Chains A and B, each alone.
Chain A
Amino acid sequence: MTILNVLILVCILYVVFLFAVAFAADRAALRGRGSWLRSPFIYTLSLSIYCTAWTFYGAVGFAARSGLEFVTIYLGPTLIMIGWWWTLRKMVRVGRSQRITSIADLISSRYGKSNLLAVIVTVLAVIGTTPYIALQLQSVTLSFAAFAETDPTATTLPDMQSTALWVAGGLALFTILFGTRNLDANERHHGVVMAIALEAVVKLFALLAVGIFVVWGLSGGVATTLDRIDASAIARFEVSGSRWIGLTMLSAVAFLCLPRMFQVMVVENEDEDHLRTAAWAFPTYLMLMSLFVVPIAAVGLELMPTGANPDLFVLTLPLMDGRDGLAILSFLGGFSSATSMVIVAAIALSTMVSNHVVMPLWLHFSGGAAMVSGDVRHVALLARRLSIAGVVLLGYVYFRLSGGGTALAAIGLIAFAGVAQFMPALMGGLFWRGATRTGALAGLIVGAVVWIYCLFLPSFGPSVVLPQVVFDEGLFGLQWLRPRALFGTEGMDPVVHAVLWSLLLNTSAFILGSLLSFPQPVERLQGAQFVNVFDHSGTPGGWTGGMAQSEDLLIMAQRIMGATEAQALFAEAARRQGLAGYLPEPSPSFLQELERELSGSVGAATAHAMISQIVGGAAVSVEDLMAVADETAQIMEYSSQLEAKSQELARTARQLRQANEKLTQLSVQKDGFLSQISHELRTPMTSIRAFSEILRDTGDLTAEEQSKYASVIHDEAVRLTRLLDDLLDLSVLENGQVVLHVQRGSLADLLDRAERAAGVQGGALRVVRDRVAEAVDLTTDLDRLVQVFINLIANARKYCDGQPPILTIRTAVIDGELVIDFTDNGSGIAPAQQAVIFEKFSRIGQHKAGGAGLGLAICREIMARLGGAVSYLPGQKGAAFRVTLPLSARMAAQ
């Protein structure tokens, strides 16, 4: 197996190990075990992401190129940890009491929740961090390539870009897996912190091991090493005072402002007291990291061939000596430095990007629907994950575009200078109540512009972004606007020059803007909370209060929970405290219990805000109010849903009532129907029986009488049969079992047939028709339609009392419907009866004209089956019936 394969295998095993560690730590934290996770040493080790691959490899290169100047990178943070730890403590306290999620969140919260500020900080942070991520990817690929060069079996060099792509993909996956398990910023990323703490140990161990090997293995002891240093160029570098001070200050400021540092220092902080340990432990770590930098650089310069990249001495020295194991360890150290930086930077940046850019945009475009909370959670998680992938991808793209050249090495300081622009707004926000949003905006924008113009754009080299003429003559030909000699300050180091002017102008704009503008109420409130954070935030989350507030709490609780439950809760608490009556001491535990109870009714945020207001221990924060609004919106949503439900219930009840009424009505109708049938059947039967008895019992009947009585019997039997036929017909029609025989025929023919069958011929009734209008062809069940017509004409014949009786049949086509009106000149039907004439056996005025009272009921059923209708047409003087039928034959279901 070649060394390259071994390296890849070890790398994969190492990554799997990191996943396992992160997973185990997450599990342990979830189960409440793992107090060791909250050790101050873990916190200190996590701070070591400050030492990236740039420090691991680059410090040696830095020393080889510029002598002791690299020390400034370690000196800045050391000064901060030792001299300014009270500032850190204030940042941590503010971060916890305000539930801060990132440095952008902190600055925007302080200045009245200004999202504009958050966006500016986010953009600047992304610009400053992207090259840095690219630098990490480059270091991994370069060190990998260094291995490949020494491997005699590798015929071709591995593709640099694909290596970087693999690394970037793996890092994005790791970060998404362990960085977005939960949303709440208060819940920390135990898995990630544990993994980077482990990596911190690996990189320190690797660098120390290489250092010891170089001093005692290659160089032959401390004394000879010191001689080599004296002999090397490192000893002869002039240390420029201004550059020294400038770089130290810069790294100190960057230590405070770097988004990834803020993430581990403030957001992931478990306990303020951890800072006490970190105050000495972290400088110690930095000291150990820098211990062997100069010896490695000196020995490397002497032993390695000229032209060898001093950035890779840490790796190439063991390789040159054939110490493959040590080289792999060294590679893992660099790998750890690079990956831990990318992971934390991706988490920090993705939090900022998703909270301040993606979510506001989404909320804006999704409108009111976003107020339903459950939805937001998923979107926020998705936004966080996409942002992580985006941040890592951006780094990879930058790496590809920059071609992986050595120009990246200078990026570290440039990025430091970019994030340093947060400093005035950050420190002003923490220590000066007069600082305003306008000031912060002015400072940030001025600082960012100066940094971009004087350092970021020129770093690409002349004529790449900025044309050469701008370097020589200044912008618009103004000499005092030359990017490397602002206001005529020539001869300064470019970095120091840019840092000096950007921070100076930034701070001036910040102070001037703050003095000239007037803060809004929210800003003043937040300003007081930030600056005086130690005055009014006790133990976070805890409650304290006086006895007098118990009564107020009881009043409030009664209003929310109801009197009985609230009194029971208070009495029980008082009993536990050994007090009589209903008013317990408002102890922290009681207040927490009350908050829990109330949050069941009004939501957690509202409960917290209500108790806060009464107990007064903590002011109601803007987040609390927002959360209350969120809950209220949710409750309103629920209550409107409830209202809809209750309306639906009322509707159902109404429908049930109507159905019940209908059923009762049907039952009454059924009784009436049976009674009617009985009557209709008994009447003809009576005649039949009476006359048949007469024929049987009377001996002396004349032949004429016999014949007459026999015909009565016959007629009544026919009437009985017709009644039974009608009943069956109606039953079939009502049950929808009728089979329609669809044929085509003309309306005029149908009416002729009906007239004949209704017995009009030779009677008194005259029928008036319009044969032109009747020339309409129909496709329907013609026999059934004729049946309807017969009924209507026969009714007119039987009931019309006009003198002389006339029936007018009018035909028209209205809206695609055939409309046939049967109007007679009789006295018509009284309005009260118009409603019932289509019911069964509803004969008008008890007239018996031969029918059984089923005719119109049958007509109505037939027309319904044919897809049309028959109805009484009021206001026509005589009785009028309207038959409608769609021309395009639409049949009802058969």
Chain B
Amino acid sequence: MSKRVLVIEDEPNIIEAVSFILSRDGWEVKTHANGHDAMEAVRARAPDLIILDVMLPGKSGFDILQEIRADAVYGHTPVLMLTARGQTKDREMAERAGASQYMTKPFSNADVLAAVRALVVP
């Protein structure tokens, strides 16, 4: 049974691109497009990996990450953060909040794929 990835991202084209890449690699991809009920989506989808955007409508990616890390069930789910804000202080914030990996947009498809593979133990 293939592993499940939840992509939380509000930009439709990016969702489509990431879904395409991961599906082709054999992952089951679920998507969610806004911030304020992201935690509910996590609980509903029970993902093996979460790809999380920082700037989301309703709630920031950092806040969602904190909620995930505080959750009893999904607290240890690996989280790959994708952000369009490439400053050092954003990366540090992400690490402090407990991101498993942090990638800056625009990214290379191969890098994303490699990171996902590395983060999820099959």
Chain A positions near chain B (C-beta within 8 angstroms): 675, 678-679, 682-683, 685-691, 693-694, 697-698, 712, 716, 845-848
- 12 inter-chain pairs at a CB distance below 8 angstroms, sorted by A residue, are A678-B87, A686-B11, A686-B14, A686-B106, A687-B14, A689-B107, A693-B108, A716-B13, A846-B57, A847-B57, A848-B11, A848-B57
Residue numbers in B under 8 Å from A686 (CB-CB): 11, 14, 17, 84, 105-107
Judge whether A690 and B10 touch: CB under 8 Å: no
**Most B-side CB within 10 Å, residue of A687, A690, A693:** A690
Judge whether B57 and A682 touch: CB under 8 Å: no
Judge whether A691 and B57 touch: CB under 8 Å: no
Q: Give chain B nearest CB distance to A44 CB in angstroms.
A: 102
Judge whether A846 and B105 touch: CB under 8 Å: no
| CB-based nearest A residue for B82 | A686
Residue numbers in B under 8 Å from A685 (CB-CB): 105-106
Given contacts A691-B17, A846-B58, contact A679 B85 (CB under 8 A): yes
Residue numbers in B under 8 Å from A682 (CB-CB): 84, 86, 104-106
Residue numbers in B under 8 Å from A697 (CB-CB): 109-110
Known interface pairs A682-B105, A683-B14; 15 further A-B residue pairs with C-beta atoms within 8 A, sorted by A's residue number: A678-B86, A683-B84, A683-B105, A687-B13, A687-B17, A689-B107, A690-B14, A690-B109, A693-B110, A694-B109, A697-B109, A845-B58, A846-B56, A847-B57, A848-B57
A687 to B104, CA, bound (A): 13
Q: Give chain A nearest CB distance to B29 CB in angstroms.
A: 14
In chain B, positions 97-122 with a C-beta closer than 8 Å to chain A are: 104-110
B96 contacts the other chain (CB 8 A): no
Judge whether A693 and B56 touch: CB under 8 Å: no
Judge whether A846 and B55 touch: CB under 8 Å: yes
Judge whether B85 and A690 touch: CB under 8 Å: no
A683 to B107, CA, bound (A): 11
Judge whether B11 and A683 touch: CB under 8 Å: yes
In chain B, positions 79-96 with a C-beta closer than 8 Å to chain A are: 84-87
Judge whether A678 and B85 touch: CB under 8 Å: yes
| CB-based nearest A residue for B18 | A690
Residue numbers in A under 8 Å from B86 (CB-CB): 678, 682
Residue numbers in A under 8 Å from B35 (CB-CB): 846
**Most A-side CB within 10 Å, residue of B13, B18, B87:** B13
Q: Give chain B nearest CB distance to A687 CB in angstroms.
A: 4
How many interface residues does B have (CB within 8 Å)?
26
| CB-based nearest B residue for A712 | B13
Judge whether B105 and A845 touch: CB under 8 Å: no
The residue from A675, A689, A845, A846 contacting B106, defined by CB atoms under 8 A apart: A689
Given contacts A675-B87, A678-B86, A687-B11, contact A694 B105 (CB under 8 A): no
Residue numbers in B under 8 Å from A679 (CB-CB): 55, 84-85
Residue numbers in A under 8 Å from B107 (CB-CB): 686, 689-690
Residue numbers in A under 8 Å from B20 (CB-CB): 694
A697 to B110, CA, bound (A): 10
A846 to B84, CA, bound (A): 14
> Which 7 residue pairs across A and B have the least CB separation, nearest first?
A690-B17, A846-B57, A682-B84, A687-B13, A686-B105, A686-B106, A689-B106
Q: Give chain A nearest CB distance to B39 CB in angstroms.
A: 17
Mask: chain B, 5-35; 1 = CB below 8 Å from A; 0 = not? 0000011011011101100100000000001
Q: Give chain B nearest CB distance to A251 CB in angstroms.
A: 110
A678 to B35, CA, bound (A): 21
Residue numbers in A under 8 Å from B17 (CB-CB): 686-687, 690-691, 694
Judge whether A848 and B10 touch: CB under 8 Å: yes
Judge whether A698 and B24 touch: CB under 8 Å: yes
Residue numbers in A under 8 Å from B13 (CB-CB): 687, 690-691, 712, 716
Q: Give chain A nearest CB distance to B34 CB in angstroms.
A: 9
Judge whether A678 and B106 touch: CB under 8 Å: no
| CB-based nearest B residue for A847 | B57
Residue numbers in A under 8 Å from B14 (CB-CB): 683, 686-687, 690
A48 to B19, CA, bound (A): 127
Q: Give chain A nearest CB distance to B57 CB in angstroms.
A: 4
Judge whether B106 and A688 touch: CB under 8 Å: yes
A845 to B55, CA, bound (A): 11
Judge whether B85 and A693 touch: CB under 8 Å: no
Judge whether B24 and A690 touch: CB under 8 Å: no
Q: Give chain B nearest CB distance to A77 CB in angstroms.
A: 107
Q: Give chain B nearest CB distance to A141 CB in angstroms.
A: 105
Q: Give chain A nearest CB distance to B91 CB in angstroms.
A: 13
Residue numbers in A under 8 Å from B87 (CB-CB): 675, 678
A698 to B21, CA, bound (A): 9
Residue numbers in A under 8 Å from B21 (CB-CB): 690, 694
A687 to B10, CA, bound (A): 12
A314 to B55, CA, bound (A): 122
A430 to B11, CA, bound (A): 111
Residue numbers in B under 8 Å from A693 (CB-CB): 108-110
A690 to B15, CA, bound (A): 10
Q: Give chain A nearest CB distance to B46 CB in angstroms.
A: 26
A675 to B108, CA, bound (A): 21
A286 to B76, CA, bound (A): 133
A693 to B17, CA, bound (A): 10
A860 to B94, CA, bound (A): 36
A423 to B84, CA, bound (A): 109
Residue numbers in B under 8 Å from A683 (CB-CB): 11, 14, 84, 105
Residue numbers in B under 8 Å from A687 (CB-CB): 11, 13-14, 17
Mask: chain B, 44-58; 1 = CB below 8 Å from A; 0 = not? 000000000001111
Residue numbers in B under 8 Å from A712 (CB-CB): 13, 16
| CB-based nearest A residue for B58 | A846
Q: Give chain A nearest CB distance to B112 CB in angstroms.
A: 9
Residue numbers in A under 8 Å from B56 (CB-CB): 846
| CB-based nearest B residue for A684 | B13
| CB-based nearest A residue for B60 | A846
Q: Give chain A nearest CB distance to B50 CB in angstroms.
A: 18
Q: Give chain B nearest CB distance to A691 CB in angstroms.
A: 6
Q: Give chain B nearest CB distance to A703 CB in angstroms.
A: 16
